[in-house]
């Protein structure tokens, strides 16, 4: 899922590229949410006693529960969500998908075994690994969204790419996904943790692509190359390339072409997998198959919820509590009606920083990074020392 | 080097009190013309703009531009140690780690001195365009506070309508609705109670009462308050202080849906 370790790199190299804040700071903004990822996380997280929630017939309802209440929380905070569902996966992803399928199959076997011999913990662990988002889950969630009056769109291929396209065109303020891929698809702003549960108290992360590129001192192409090296969904990772190495390699070689050539010439000792069409992967990031933001499918309308429909679907068919569904629908109606608070940025524009200020800031940032590095090094040393001491002598 | 002496500590105490609930950390930008502060609240709905001109201090000295990054909660703690009538002196080096505050009591010879640690704050400055407002309303600051507090009991938001008949503050809530109308009013004996409405065209806008009530914490700074409105721009609430200094609040309006 996503790009390995990218966030830790951003945190180290471009600490001013992300902000953390409360969900209510996002009010008044439209946000495109990666629905498939969210449903998956609901299926994993919305559970009771380690078992997925079900209605009396034994049909899973975790995804609907998550979708309903988490969307309510988003709307309550004055955010207007648009959900984007995955379409057909791009061909390049088939390798990754096959691997995931394999892992699921293994996990299913593991689950069977654990049920016979293992502890409750093992069962839960394996059962979480067997989770798959099925077509039915998607269809049910779409039906729910329609009843709630929340717009959604089915992307031609990857949902993240569509979210990014909408954000880039200014249709929405940001793309919301846990997946760092979204930045490679050129989303100016990425929100993370938006669909998390309130109880987790995770702050909403806001990541700004432009500042990431500034901080890394890269253009977008190099950034995408970096992400491919770190390991994306489309290509196998190169053995022995971790975040630090990947960063160093891109800084040294500039592009993946140069890097691959250097490896071929024997100048760099890495083993690149045989089938490694990095140019195709890059192409996917640069020109993904998405609906144009001015396409009629991207005209989003937030409407009133269909109270009777919601009760029929959630209460009668899925066994939700009628009172809670009614209260939820009432909240949706109220939020739709109340006038929206505008943000000051719409009226007053930030004054661009002078070159001097930018330089000063850059210097300060570099100092901070340097300090953090030193500290980490020293801690490591301390640890090594502590370990080197034979036990019992302290 | 900054050195600024205030005859009465309560000016700074009141200013900080008025804004500390909107803004947590901010820079006091000091230059030879005075002490300025600009900061938005967390959700970027309201903006505080403060200017304490050099004339408000005696004496005032600032050789180089300095930004003092202050946590307002901490500053409040220190300022609590000052009596309202104390003489307050702010001092800082050119590249300061701390802000030095000295309180001198005029009655006896008590002298207290505090150092407040400063922080690095990377702040975004907003450019505020000069606006010819369609309506400018001056009124007693206590009157404005009363209206906001009274209407807050009914609703979250207030609609402010200025027309040639006067200015009307109205709200609608679950329990009912309410409205307060003020007309231009000239009190010869007590000019502080004047209500003055200047209007070039009618205006109607809706604002969050929570924020307005918060702004009203500045009521103690000035007897009168000025509201400036134009359609589709933020409201300006200004508390004028002696010597051309001011404390201004900007508030983004609530808007009907664009779809």
Question: Would the CB atoms of B47 and A340 count as touching at under 8 Å?
Answer: no
> What 8-state DSSP symbol labels residue B180?
E
What does the pLDDT read at residue A390? 63
A342–chain B Cβ distance below 8 A for any pair: yes
Nearest CA distance, A289 vs chain B (angstrom): 28
Cβ <8 Å between A348 and B47: yes
Q: Does A21 touch chain B (CB under 8 A)?
A: yes
Cα–Cα distance, B213 to B202 (Å, whole number):
24
Q: Go through the domains of chain A in sequence order and give each one's CATH number.
A: 1-291 (3.40.50.1010)
Give the pLDDT score at A309.
92
Note the pLDDT tens digit of each residue in B85-101. 999 999 999 889 999 99
**What was the pLDDT predicted at B87?**
94
Among A302, A341, A349, select the one facing B126 at the smallest CB separation: A349
Q: Chain B residues with CB inside 8 Å of A349's CB?
A: 126-127
Give the pLDDT score at A200. Answer: 80
CB contacts, 8 Å: B118 with chain A: none
* Interface probe, candidates A304, A339, A363, chain B, greatest B C-beta count within 10 A: A339
- Residues forming beta bridges with residue B26, ordered by sequence position: B70
CA distance A365 to A108: 48
A:25-84 residues touching chain B, CB 8 A cutoff: 25, 27
Amino acid A43: pLDDT: 87
Angle, CA A154 vertex, CA A79 and CA A291 arms, to 5° = 95
Q: Is the dihedral of CA A261, A265, A267, A268 positive or negative?
A: positive
Q: Which residues neighbour A303 within 8 Å (Cβ) at sequence distance 6 or greater?
A: A149, A336
Contact B90, B9 (CB under 8 A): no
Supply φ then ψ for residue A128, to 5 degrees: -65, -35
What CA–CA distance (Å, rounded) separates B147 from B153? 10
From chain A, pick out residues whose CB is under 8 angstroms from the CB of B45: 341-344
- CA distances, A273 to each of A237, A252, B244 (Å): 8, 21, 71
Asked if residues A92 and A235 have their Cβ atoms less than 8 Å apart, the reply is yes
A348 in reach of chain B (CB within 8 A): yes
The residue ranking higher by pLDDT, B246 or A249, is B246
pLDDT of A127: 67
Of B39, B41, B51, B19, the residue nearest B208 (C-alpha):
B41
pLDDT for the residue A280: 85
Q: Who wins on pLDDT, B183 or A234?
A: B183
- First-residue to last-residue Cα distance in chain B: 54
Find residue B47's DSSP bridge partners.
B40, B250
Is B45 within 8 Å of chain A by CB?
yes
Q: Is B130 on the interface with A (CB under 8 A)?
A: no
Nearest CA in chain B to A364: B120
Q: How far is A344 from chain B (nearest CA, A)?
A: 5
pLDDT at A97: 65
C-alpha distances in angstroms, A67 versus A58, A89, A143?
19, 23, 11
From B233's Cα to the closest Cα of chain A, the distance in A is: 7
Contact B120/A at CB under 8 A = yes
Cα B57 from Cα B223, distance rounded (Å)? 20
If you average pLDDT over every residue of chain B, what do you get? 92
CA distance B99 to chain A (A): 21
**Exposed/middle/buried for residue A350 (C-beta within 10 Å: 0-12, 13-18, 19+):** exposed
Contact B257 A340 (CB under 8 A): yes
Q: Which residues in chain A have their CB less than 8 angstroms from residue B170's CB? A: none
Report the residue from B44, B129, B156 with minimal CB separation from A344: B44
Asked if B236 and B248 touch (Cβ cutoff 8 Å), the reply is: yes
Task: Please tell me chain B's helix, strand, coil percentages from 3-state DSSP, rounded to the nearest 5.
Answer: 20, 45, 35
pLDDT digits (tens, 9 = 90+) for B193-241: 899 999 999 999 999 999 999 999 999 999 999 999 999 899 999 999 9
Q: List, in sequence order, every beta strand (DSSP E) within chain B.
A: 2-6, 25-31, 34-40, 46-53, 60-62, 66-71, 87-92, 98-104, 111-117, 126-127, 135-140, 157-163, 166-172, 177-182, 196-199, 203-208, 224-229, 235-240, 246-251, 254-255
Substitution target in B47, B122, B133 with the highest count of A β-carbons within 10 Å is B122
Our CA-based measurement puts residue A22 at a distance from the nearest CA of chain B, in whole angstroms, of 9
Q: Could you tell me the pTM of the whole model?
A: 0.76
What's the rounded Cα separation, in Å, for the pair B172 and B43? 24
Helices (H), A274-348: 278-286, 307-310, 322-337
Distances (CA, A) of A340 to A315, A327, A382, B189, B259: 31, 21, 54, 43, 12
Q: Maximum Cα–Cα distance for chain A, whole Å?
A: 74
Please report, in tens digits, the pLDDT of each residue of chain A (394 residues total): 567 788 888 888 888 888 888 888 888 888 999 998 889 888 888 877 777 788 877 788 889 989 999 999 999 888 899 999 988 877 777 666 677 677 777 777 777 776 666 666 776 666 666 677 888 899 999 999 999 999 999 999 889 999 999 999 988 999 999 888 899 999 999 999 988 887 888 889 999 999 899 888 889 999 998 888 887 777 777 888 888 888 888 888 888 888 888 888 877 778 888 778 888 888 888 988 888 888 888 888 888 899 999 999 999 999 899 999 999 999 888 887 777 788 888 888 888 777 777 777 777 777 777 777 788 788 878 877 777 766 655 4
Pick from A345, A351, A364: which is nearest to B44 by CB? A345
Record: contact A341-B46, CB cut-off 8 A? no
Helix A135-148, helix A35-45: angle, nearest 10 = 100
Q: Chain B: nearest CA to A25, how far in angstroms?
A: 4
Nearest 10 degrees: Cα torsion A23, A26, A28, A32: -100
Q: Residue A338: its chain B contacts at CB < 8 A?
A: 156
pLDDT at residue A385, as a whole number = 77
Burial-class residue B241 by CB neighbours within 10 Å (0-12, 13-18, 19+): buried
Enter the tokens of residue A142. 């779409």
The ipTM of this complex is 0.79
User: Token pair of A121, please?
Assistant: 């913990």
Cβ atoms of residues A210 and A188 within 8 Å = yes
């Amino acid at each position: 899922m996503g790009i390995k370790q990218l966030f830790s790199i951003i945190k180290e190299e471009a600490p001013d590229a992300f902000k953390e804040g409360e969900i209510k700071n996002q009010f008044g903004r439209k946000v495109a949410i990666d629905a498939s990822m969210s449903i998956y996380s609901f299926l994993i997280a919305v559970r009771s006693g380690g078992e997925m929630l079900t209605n009396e017939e034994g049909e899973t309802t975790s995804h609907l529960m998550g979708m309903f209440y988490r969307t309510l929380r988003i709307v309550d905070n004055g955010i207007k969500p648009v959900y984007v569902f995955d379409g057909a996966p791009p061909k390049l992803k088939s390798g990754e998908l096959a691997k995931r399928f394999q892992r699921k199959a293994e996990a299913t076997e593991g689950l069977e075994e654990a049920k016979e011999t293992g502890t409750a913990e093992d069962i839960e662990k394996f059962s979480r690994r067997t989770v798959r988002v099925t077509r039915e889950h998607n269809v049910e969630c779409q039906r729910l969204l329609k009843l709630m009056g929340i717009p959604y769109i089915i992307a031609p291929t990857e949902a993240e790419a569509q979210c990014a396209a909408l954000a880039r065109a200014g249709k929405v303020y940001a793309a919301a996904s846990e997946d760092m891929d979204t930045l490679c698809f050129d989303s100016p702003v990425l929100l993370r943790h938006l669909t998390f549960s309130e109880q987790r108290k995770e702050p909403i992360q806001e990541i700004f692509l432009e500042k990431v590129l500034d901080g890394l001192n890269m253009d977008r192409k190099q950034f995408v190359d970096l992400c491919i090296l770190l390991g994306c969904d489309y290509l196998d990772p190169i053995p022995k390339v971790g975040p630090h190495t990947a960063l160093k390699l891109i800084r040294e070689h500039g592009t993946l072409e140069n890097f691959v050539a250097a490896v071929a010439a024997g100048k760099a000792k890495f083993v690149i997998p045989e089938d490694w069409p990095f140019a195709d992967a890059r192409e996917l990031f640069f020109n993904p198959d998405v609906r144009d933001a001015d396409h009629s499918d991207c005209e989003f309308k937030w409407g009133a919820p269909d109270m009777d429909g919601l009760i029929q679907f959630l209460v009668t068919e899925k066994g939700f509590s009628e009172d809670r569904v009614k209260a939820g629908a009432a909240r949706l109606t109220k939020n739709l009606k109340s006038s929206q608070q505008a943000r000051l940025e719409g009226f007053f524009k930030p004054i661009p920083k002078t070159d001097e200020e930018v330089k000063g800031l850059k210097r300060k940032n570099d100092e901070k990074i340097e300090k953090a590095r030193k500290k980490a090094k020293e801690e490591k040393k301390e640890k090594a020392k502590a370990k080197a001491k034979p036990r019992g002598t302290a | 080097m900054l050195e600024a002496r205030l005859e009465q500590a309560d000016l700074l105490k009141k200013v900080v009190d008025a804004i500390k609930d909107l803004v947590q950390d901010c820079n006091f930008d000091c230059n030879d013309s005075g002490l300025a502060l600009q900061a938005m609240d967390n959700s970027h709905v309201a903006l505080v703009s403060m200017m304490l001109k050099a004339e408000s201090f005696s004496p005032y000295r600032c050789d180089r531009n300095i930004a003092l990054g202050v946590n307002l909660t901490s500053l409040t703690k220190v300022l609590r140690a000052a009596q309202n009538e104390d003489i307050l002196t702010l001092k800082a080096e050119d590249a300061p780690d701390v802000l030095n505050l000295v309180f001198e009591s005029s009655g006896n010879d008590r002298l207290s001195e505090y150092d407040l640690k400063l922080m690095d704050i990377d702040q975004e400055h907003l450019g505020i365009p000069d606006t010819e407002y369609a309506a400018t309303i001056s009124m007693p600051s206590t009157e404005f506070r009363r209206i906001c507090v009274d209407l807050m009991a009914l609703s979250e938001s207030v609609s402010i309508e200025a027309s040639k008949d006067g200015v009307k503050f109205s709200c609608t809530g679950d329990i009912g609705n309410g409205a307060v109308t003020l007309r231009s009013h000239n009190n010869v004996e007590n000019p502080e109670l004047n209500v003055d409405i200047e209007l070039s065209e009618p205006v109607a806008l809706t604002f969050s009462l929570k924020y307005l009530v918060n702004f009203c914490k500045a009521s103690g700074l000035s007897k009168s308050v000025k509201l400036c409105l134009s359609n589709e721009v933020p409201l300006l609430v200004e508390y004028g202080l002696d010597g051309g200094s001011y404390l201004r609040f900007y508030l983004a309006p609530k808007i009907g849906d664009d779809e």
